[in-house]
Amino acid sequence: MKRASIFRALVLVALTCAASAGVLAQPNKYARDPKQPVDEDYTKKIKEYTTEPFFLSPLVDYLPASKTVPTPKAVLGDVAGAPGKLPYTAEVHEYMRMLEKASPGRVKVFSIGRSEEGREMIAVAIAAEPVLAKLEENRARLAKLADPRTITLDDAEADRLVNLSVPVYYIAGSLHAPETGSPTALMELAYRLTVDESPYIKAIRSNVVTMITPVLETDGRDRQVDTYKWHLANPKDAWPSAVYWGKYVVHDNNRDAMAATLALTRNVVNFVVAQKVQVLHDLHESVPYLYDNTVGDGPYNAWVDPILTDEWQLLGWNNMSEMTKFGMPGAFAHGTFDTWSPGYLMFIGAMHNGISRLYETFGNAGADTVERKLQPNDYARTWYKQNPPLPKAMWSQRNNNNYTLTGLLTALSYFADNNRLFLKNFYLKSKRSVLKPKVEGPAAYVFTADDPRPGAQAELLRVLQRQAVEISRATAPFTVTLPVKKARAGEKPGEKPAEAAAPAGDPKPDAKAEEKPKTETKPFPAGSYIIRMDQPYSRIADALLDYQYWSPNDPQKRPYDDTGWTFGELFNVQVVRVSDAKVLDAAMERVTDVTVPTAVKGAGPVFLVNNDADPALLALRYRLKAAAFDVAEEPFDAAGRKFNRGSFIIRNVQAADVQAAGRDLSLQAYAVDAAPAVKTHAVKAPRIGYIHTWLSTQDEGWWRMEFDRLKIPYDYISTQAVAREPNLASKWDVLVFPPVGRGAQQIVSGMPMWRNPLPWKTTPLTPNIGKIDSTDDMRPGLGYGGVVNLETFVRQGGVLIVAEDTSQFANTFGMTPGLSVQAPARLNAPGTVMRAKLVDGASPIAYGYGENVSIYSAPGLVMGVSNTLGGRGGGRGADAGPSRPTGRGTADDMDHPQGRPVVTPPEEPKVEAWQAAPVTDEQLRNPLNVIPPPQRPRVVLRYGDVSSLLVSGLLENGNEIAQRPAVVDVPLDKGHVVAFAHNPMWRGQTQGTYGLVFNAILNFDQLNAGRKYDEK
Ligand SMILES: [Zn+2]
């Protein structure tokens, strides 16, 4: 048993002892109201659809009857959890509104926003009449507890408010589309909470406001129900799995709570913040039979208040305690899930001073009742699973609903019984967030007004605003004291001032550092943005902007998700962590709308736009489609400022159009009389083909979302369409093929062709699928014909952009001569922010970037380049050790063979890990396999040196990827394959590396610009 586990076991024992007395004192607490009739039909069906008596509890083994309020049967035609019944989103919502209509005193339905495809999201509030009637007054009191500044942090006033108020417990279901049980469970929960007159339910109704969003992923729910209906209509066939859930992503809709890019995430954040909810409880299905994975395992997120982790234990303990007494097998609270990343939807609660919770129950991905056989490690008894699940059992959707309902009712009951405690904790967590500068710090994060990337800075600030973080702006210059950062090996001190205050560990100062002062003063200009930490939602800002460190020695060996995310690094924006509380005295004002200056400066017919790697630059080219765009191949001075390589020189356009586009895209243009004297090339608006597979759309969805957000036009084509089109170049200039999450062979082969076709089409039976793209049969992949078409496209002059597994795909099928690609063998980097270095700043792909770029890598591909075909490529790397052979002398000496004069060999050229070894005369004797200089791979960006590779997260055996190429432009005949070792467009979080992709697109026919060729 791990040390942490022993500790938790002791806590559990202590809690159990403390609580058993209270339970004994009220033996009949689950008893129903004998005066209230039971709905006999419904109750009979519950029992019929439950496959074993121990899959039921006294809380759900009957349904109270009501003369006026309809049961879920009114919409479902059967009971919740009945076999074969999966309601669409609109049907679930229809039922909730029927409840509201039948019981307006106890039920209120809120519309909380719409999905990307326009489907409504709702929240249903249920409480006793006196509570619901004064919901707004209650909310106003909760708002004071949520922002203790409004009551001057007065604990006595907080206690008064706590005693008057009722907390909000917010339950949300159906985030993951194939986890199908929660909507019917929540329909029945809403009914029970509305009509049941048992003391148990009445106490919940009076002491907590239950809020329910029965379907979070409304688009995905409807597509899932379609595929289930298809399955019911074709019961003997294999059925299409929902390759799309939401418009953009599938499972990762539960990884969006940091950047909040999806509509559903934003709707939930807005609702949680507006209603000041105390708990956000998200419902999932995976493991048998109910796992409260909030308790889970370590490491816990490093920015949450310890009060919250205590609340997780309290709620989880009570849940398990109750379900254990009911004799329900397979209910447990510990397990393999760590709570490190704040990207899960439930974390919206945790990061806004509430409580995050999550259940995994057991579902069948549909409403069929089937025998489920478990793996030994799922049914084995462990210390935290004393009554484990059965090795095999008939499992029904009703069983699943019973577990969800029982868990939720006991949780609501415990929360209602302890509502003062949890409300007081809510206040304390909010107060401690406000006190952050005085206690653990920092005092603020500062975004300097002279950041070279104002557009990216504004985007990052808007992310914080979406999280309800208050943003201030300095009205005068100010100065703060910062600790001097010790330069890490391989980095020049002061190379990146943004990191001056980065808490990159606290290594022992070496002799040199001790001589230097430990602090320095740093001035910031007026207009700098300040994120004060003395605000209620300081915690989410701190979690997003700080650095993460996950020890390779952590007992948790399998991180559940990304281990690093530092947003300043990933947005390529300077963010300074300031502990000096004096920063809070700077003259500043609150900002509600983050804007960058976009008024065209100067006058003249030529417009200059600096290239600062802003993703919106590509959008500008499409926005001003008729204008003439030239791109500078060298930096230049004009209009009183410096312009980077890649800056735009725009002609044949009206100033008003430039102005309007600049305003919409947060870009600043400078008007001048004449173009600067600098080498340029023209860029047109490329025709983009965007390739997806029918295997998986999630990773590409994050790319597509950003293309759409920035209004970059593209044709969305499947690998099957690529296979059908022999002349891809006639339609597109650039093909973007984002990561698939599958191997090269599977991209080609697709799904197995045995059994039946799998249509993804809009039909009367399946009205919600086949809209984003459609096919008669999802099974065929790219095929060898498609591979040939792609290669032909590149050879004719097209550009193919690939990343991670699609880089491997292009390499496997011979489209990247001189590039070697392989998956790392020892590197451990499960979603880590790493330092990358610019190798060739003259490449158009690098336009706008500085010497350092932080990239997201998980873990990334080990690439090498070679000037010959078949070469593995790349030097041995900095840490490869001495290279001399066995012989006489020391490690640094030269060997001397005996019996002949000593011959000193010529010095071998030093080849770095990102470089190709120079071609030798021996190789040129027959140059067949020597790649001609213009066709050799061009490394644009490489991974950093091992000593400075880690920026945030977990990194182990980094030497395997250190210094290796990260972005390589590989010529193939007249075209190029641009290969990324990492994923540059990830979860809306890596906006700092979008520019690498967009530069490649914009300069597709000029990628050789600035290139220096080898002499031989
Ligand atoms: Zn899930």
Contacts of 697 (CB under 8 A, 6+ apart): 243, 244, 249, 250
Pairing of strands 331-339, 355-361: unpaired
Q: Are 769 and 230 in contact (CB under 8 A)?
A: no
The DSSP annotation for 546-584 comes to S--B--TT-S--S-SS-S---HHHHTT---EEE--GGGG
Residue 173 CA to ligand 1 center (angstroms) comes to 10
Q: Residue 28: its pLDDT value, please?
A: 80
Centroid of ligand 1 to alpha carbon of 287 (angstroms)? 10
**pLDDT given at position 907:** 85
Q: Nearest CA to 591 among 534, 528, 662, 664?
A: 528
Mean pLDDT of 868-884: 68
pLDDT band at 870 (very low <50, low <70, confident <90, very high): confident
Q: Is 411 left (phi over 0), alpha (psi -120 to 50) or beta?
A: alpha
Q: What are phi and psi of 87, to 5 degrees?
A: -75, 145
Whole-number Cα distances in Å, 978 to 826, 844, 885: 26, 12, 38
pLDDT value, residue 18: 44
pLDDT band for 75, please (50, 70, 90 cuts). very high
Cα 971 versus chain centre, distance: 33
pLDDT at 261 over 90: yes
Q: How many angstroms separate the alpha carbon of residue 830 from the centre of ligand 1?
A: 20
**Ligand 1 mean position to 407 CA, how many Å?**
17
d(CA 455, CA 684): 23
Q: CA neighbours within 13 Å on the CB side: how many for 544?
A: 34
> 549 has which bridge partners?
953
CA distance 1010 to 938: 11
* pLDDT computed for residue 844 by the predictor: 98
Q: What is the mean pLDDT of residues 421-436?
A: 98
Say yes or no to pLDDT of 2 above 50: no
179-200 mean pLDDT: 98
CA 311 – ligand 1 centroid, Å: 22
Average pLDDT rounded to a whole number, residues 621-631:
98
Looking at residues 309-322, what average pLDDT do you find? 97
Q: Which amino acid is at 23?
A: V
Cis peptide upstream of residue 289 (ω within 30 degrees of 0):
yes
Q: Give distance in angstroms: CA of 175 to centre of ligand 1.
A: 7
pLDDT at 100 over 50: yes
Å from CA of 431 to ligand 1 middle: 33
Instruction: Assess whether pLDDT exceeds 60 at residue 878.
Output: no
Cα(209) to centroid(ligand 1), Å: 25
User: How far does residue 177's CA lie from ligand 1's centre (Å)?
Assistant: 8
pLDDT digits (tens, 9 = 90+) for 665-703: 999 999 999 999 999 999 999 999 999 999 999 999 999
What is the chain's Cα-based Rg?
31
Measured in Å, how far apart are the chain's first and last C-alpha atoms? Answer: 62
CA-based angle 648:669:657, to the nearest 5?
95
Q: What dihedral do alpha carbons 155, 159, 164, 167 form, nearest 10°?
A: 90
Q: Separation of 193 CA from ligand 1 center, angstroms? A: 25
Enter the DSSP assignment of 993: G
SS3 of residue 321 by DSSP: helix
Spacing, Cα 359 to ligand 1 middle (Å): 9
Is 876's pLDDT higher than 90? no
pLDDT at 298 over 80: yes
How many residues are listed for the chain in this entry?
Answer: 1016
Three-class SS of 241-259: CCCCCCCCCCHHHHCCCCC
pLDDT of residue 901: 93
pLDDT attached to residue 499: 39
pLDDT in tens, 787-798: 999 999 999 999
Token pair of 901 as six digits: 């004069």
The pair of three-digit structure tokens given for residue 874, joined into one six-digit string? 């790349």
Dihedral class, residue 260 (left if φ above 0, else alpha if ψ from -120 to 50, else beta): left
Whether 407 has a pLDDT exceeding 80, the answer reads yes
Report the separation in Å between the CA atom of 94 and the middle of ligand 1, taken as the mean of its atom positions.
25
Which of 76-90, 222-236, 475-489 has the least mean pLDDT? 475-489
Q: Could you give phi then psi for residue 796, rounded to 5 degrees?
A: -80, -5
- Cα–Cα nearest to 201, from 422, 36, 404, 319: 36
CA quadruple 760, 762, 765, 768: dihedral sign: positive
Q: CA geometry: angle at 568 spanning 562 and 570, to 5°?
A: 50
In terms of Cβ atoms closer than 10 Å to its own Cβ (0-12, 13-18, 19+), residue 192 is: buried
Amino acid (1-letter code) at residue 218: T
Decide if pLDDT at 648 tops 50.
Answer: yes
**Distances, alpha carbon 788 to alpha carbons 120, 729, 952, in Å:** 44, 13, 41
CA 251 to centroid of ligand 1, rounded, Å: 7
- pLDDT in the model for residue 193: 98
pLDDT of residue 877: 58
Ligand 1 centroid – CA 283 distance (Å):
7
For residue 366, the CA-to-ligand 1 centroid distance in Å is 14
What tokens appear for 396 in the block?
A: 């029904």
Q: Is the pLDDT reported for residue 12 higher than 50?
A: no
- How far is the centre of ligand 1, averaged over its atoms, from the C-alpha of 541 (Å)? 26
Q: What is the DSSP letter of 488?
A: P
User: Which residue has tokens 């560990």?
Assistant: 505
Dig out the tokens for 895 from the structure: 């060997």
How many alpha carbons lie under 13 Å from residue 176 in its C-beta half-sphere?
Answer: 22
Distance 539 CA to ligand 1 centre (A): 25
Q: How far is the CA of 565 from the centre of ligand 1 (A)?
A: 22
Across the range 756-771, mean pLDDT stands at 98
- Amino acid code (one letter) for 150: T
Report the separation in Å between the CA atom of 176 and the middle of ligand 1, taken as the mean of its atom positions: 5
Question: Could you tell me the pLDDT band of residue 151, with boundaries at 50, 70 and 90?
Answer: very high
Taking the centre of ligand 1 as the mean of its atom positions, its distance from the CA of residue 724, in whole angstroms, is 36
Average pLDDT score over the chain: 94
Task: Calculate what percentage of the chain has a pLDDT beyond 90.
Answer: 91
Instruction: Spell 562-589 as b/e; 16+ CB within 10 A means b.
Output: bbbbbbbbbbbbbbbbbbbbebbebebe
pLDDT of residue 918 exceeding 50, the answer is yes
22 has a pLDDT exceeding 50: no
- CA of 230 from ligand 1 middle (Å) equals 22
pLDDT at 517: 77
Ligand 1 centroid from CA 265, angstroms: 15
Under DSSP, is residue 41 helix (H, G, I), strand (E, B) or coil?
helix
Q: Mean pLDDT throughout 86-106?
A: 98
Q: Compute, in degrees rounded to 10, the torsion defined by CA atoms 345, 346, 348, 354.
A: 170
**Percent of the chain's residues with pLDDT above 70:** 93
Q: Give residue 494's Cα distance to chain centre.
A: 31
With b for 16 or more beta-carbon neighbours within 10 A and e for fewer, the 894-919 pattern comes to: eeeeeeeeeeeeeeeeeebbbbbbeb
Distance, in Å, from the CA atom of 196 to the CA atom of 192, rounded to the nearest integer, reads 5
CA of 783 to the centre of ligand 1 (A): 33
Question: 166-180, 405-419, 611-625, 877-891: which has the minimum mean pLDDT?
Answer: 877-891
Cβ-contact 536, 146 below 8 angstroms:
yes
Range 87-112 burial, b when 16+ CB lie within 10 A, else e: bbbebbbebbebbbebbeebbbbeeb
Cα of 829 to ligand 1 centre, how many Å?
24
Could you tell me the distance, in angstroms and rounded to a whole number, from the CA of residue 405 to the centre of ligand 1?
17
- The count of C-alpha atoms lying within 13 angstroms of the C-alpha of 667, restricted to the half-sphere facing its C-beta, is 30
For residue 141, the CA-to-ligand 1 centroid distance in Å is: 34
Question: What tens digit of pLDDT does each residue of 443-480 get?
Answer: 999 999 999 999 999 999 999 999 999 999 999 999 99
If one counts every other C-beta atom within 10 angstroms of the C-beta of residue 960, the result is 19
pLDDT tens for each residue of 241-257 = 999 999 999 999 999 99
CA–centroid distance, 179 to ligand 1, in Å, is 6
CA of 361 relative to ligand 1 center, distance in Å: 9
Write the DSSP string, 848-909. T--SEEEEEESS--EEEE-SBTT---S---TTS---PPSSSS-TTSPP--TTS---PPPPPP
Ligand 1 center to 939 CA (angstroms): 40
Examine the pLDDT at 514 and tell me if it is beyond 60.
no
Express each pLDDT in 932-946 by its tens digit.
999 999 999 999 999
- 284 alpha carbon – ligand 1 mean position (Å): 4
CA 948 to centroid of ligand 1, rounded, Å = 36
Ligand 1 centroid distance, CA of 386 (Å)? 24
pLDDT score at 16 = 45
pLDDT of residue 693: 98
Q: For residue 886, what is the enclosing H or E element?
A: none
Strand segments (E) across 44-178: 107-114, 120-126, 168-172
Q: Give per-residue pLDDT as tens, 710-755.
A: 999 999 999 999 999 999 999 999 999 999 999 999 999 999 999 9
pLDDT at position 503, please?
40
Cα 418 from Cα 412, distance rounded (Å): 10
pLDDT band at 19 (very low <50, low <70, confident <90, very high): very low
Query: CA quadruple 951, 957, 963, 968: dihedral positive or negative?
Result: negative
